[in-house]
Structure 1
């Protein structure tokens, strides 16, 4: 059996066999596959957040080198891309070539700068705030997506979509207020979260612009993005003092420490495949809703794991963020369907008029 990593390409995929040659799949089998893939996505996503939290800030590890941790994750991703490329050449799986091209690397560089900023501020936010508040701290991604889409792409957002965003903003503000009420608010961590949200939105826009330069292949983009990121991070980890922090770190020769570091890199890499797999077996909208539900579960697990006590208003703030995000996905899905139906209707009308003219002639 070959694993097709190339399925994450943004180009239209072609199947090897015709649909009529495939055995009919039962509804139960479909449900089992969907549930399994969603569970896989939730497991990797939630586990990655907790592993990163442990590496970025924990009393047992006591390491203050967030940029080095992020740099190492990029190195692991590059190495795994190379491993998959080698396995592909042996016929074990399908994966794009990772032969380095300086021209492509240079073209991808603007995205890489945004990417480095995004993952750095993401990790700085996670380092500074609790896992339970992490969802709220980074909840403004949708808001920034709308703002940047308007200013960069010139696309406007409908009133119903804007109304769902007002719910998200209310949830964010209430969450910040409640964190302050219980005395656990990290102002700098919240600022990191807001910046990270803006960069996540900007990164998504630039991915669409850069993808054609790598033949629409998301894995090839991942490779070049992380190679560039390693080069960008190198001076940063020296300037920030992270290298010195790691050199004098008590557990620098600890096998368990490097295993956890490598595990975080591996999980970050595999998340790209799992996300694409979930979108493939469900829909993009279902994936977004799944992400909202996953964030809810992640918050509950974090509160229970760390033995925290939260107010009713704190839980309400999380609920508003999740409901607003889910509602936005629903509105955008409905708008896409309406636009598609309108386009289909217009095409049918054109075909009808064309046939009518040909008959009249």
Structure 2
């Protein structure tokens, strides 16, 4: 990979981690959806929500590192934080990109229709290929590129008839997957720089993000509205909801980093889109969400592209 170490782990380890990522992230999505859709506690303040989730994550990591269950595998042992300014400076670029993801997310959701969301998310695959070439000097084979193109075409067919673009939504629809692709590449580069110490990465990134979020909350204007419009600050159910969503998102981030240690940013993008396909198909089967025959065929075509991609990457490991 021209300067980057090869993904760690055997074929079976990578497959297990990928399946774990798909399972955990899919479960987290449905848990969050159930909580937000059926909950009486509506909290439409994305910046404050992110801040609360970061603080809850920090508290959880501090408590877990204090307990330090030594009988658990090393992946589940969170080390006690030892602050080092030089380490913080090296991780700062990743934190800034992460904050761009946080800031761009509500803008993306505001200007891009829900029906267009999944298709635009699939464009992260294309941006991952482009940025991996420009930033990591990684050149993918023609067959790998073909598998990625199949996935994108399948996603387009999967949501044809539901796509609706304007000039503004096109800007955000292209900007969001581009930022996601850049973020995954910065994650990979930072992981490599710190010898795959993902707990160090999570700890420093969470602390710095929490601090930077404070002025962003004031600039967003949410603080002026939250205390006048929210009545359930003392409700246990609200804080239980906030803790559950924080810990599910934290779990997804951890398993994502473990997967990224072993695979490329492009493979992570493919896994993310595959998760979207699985979620859509589950919603179609269980909840009866409407899908036309063409939409269903597109989803299955995209899933076939993901399987083809996985097969190609498995063949590369044998070489």
Pairwise CA RMSD? 3.9
Q: Single out whichever of 39-48 and 233-242 deviates more from structure 2.
A: 39-48
Aligned length: 301
Confirm or deny that 1:257 pairs with 2:238: yes
Give the deviation of 1:195 after TM superposition.
3.1
Confirm or deny that 1:325 pairs with 2:293: no
Query: Which deviations, in whole Å up to 9, do the C-alpha atoms of 1:99-123 show, x marking residues without a partner?
Result: 2222211210100111222345456
Confirm or deny that 1:270 pairs with 2:278: no
Structure 1: runs of 5+ lacking an equivalent: 1-9, 14-29, 339-361
Q: Single out whichever of 138-147 and 67-76 deviates more from structure 2.
A: 67-76
Query: Any idea what SS the aligned residue of 2:122 has?
Result: coil
Residues 171 and 192 (structure 1 numbering): CA distance in 2 closer, same or farther, change over 3 Å? farther
- Higher RCO (CA 8 Å, separation ≥ 6 residues): 2
Query: Which deviations, in whole Å up to 9, do the C-alpha atoms of 1:287-318 show, x marking residues without a partner?
Result: 99986765444213334666532212222332
Confirm or deny that 1:111 pairs with 2:94: yes
Distance 1:72 1:156 in 2: 40
Confirm or deny that 1:96 pairs with 2:76: no
Give the deviation of 1:70 after TM superposition.
2.1
Distance 2:235 2:285 in 1: 29
- Give the match for residue 27 of structure 1: none
- Give the match for residue 20 of structure 1: none
- Give the match for residue 175 of structure 2: 195
Give the deviation of 1:71 after TM superposition.
2.3
Confirm or deny that 1:73 pairs with 2:73: no
Residues 193 and 328 (structure 1 numbering): CA distance in 2 closer, same or farther, change over 3 Å? farther
- Give the match for residue 179 of structure 1: 162
Confirm or deny that 1:44 pairs with 2:27: no
Query: Which deviations, in whole Å up to 9, do the C-alpha atoms of 1:54-85 show, x marking residues without a partner?
Result: 67777844432122222222222222221222
Contact 2:191 2:201 in 1 (8 A): yes
Contact 1:164 1:328 in 2 (8 A): yes
- Give the match for residue 141 of structure 2: 158
Distance 1:57 1:189 in 2: 24
Give the deviation of 1:222 after TM superposition.
0.7
Query: Which deviations, in whole Å up to 9, do the C-alpha atoms of 1:183-212 show, x marking residues without a partner?
Result: xx5867776554332223222221232235
Query: Any idea what SS the aligned residue of 1:139 has?
Result: helix
Confirm or deny that 1:86 pairs with 2:69: no
Larger Rg: 1
Q: Single out whichever of 265-274 and 148-157 deviates more from structure 2.
A: 265-274
Residues 204 and 293 (structure 1 numbering): CA distance in 2 closer, same or farther, change over 3 Å? closer
Distance 1:175 1:191 in 2: 21
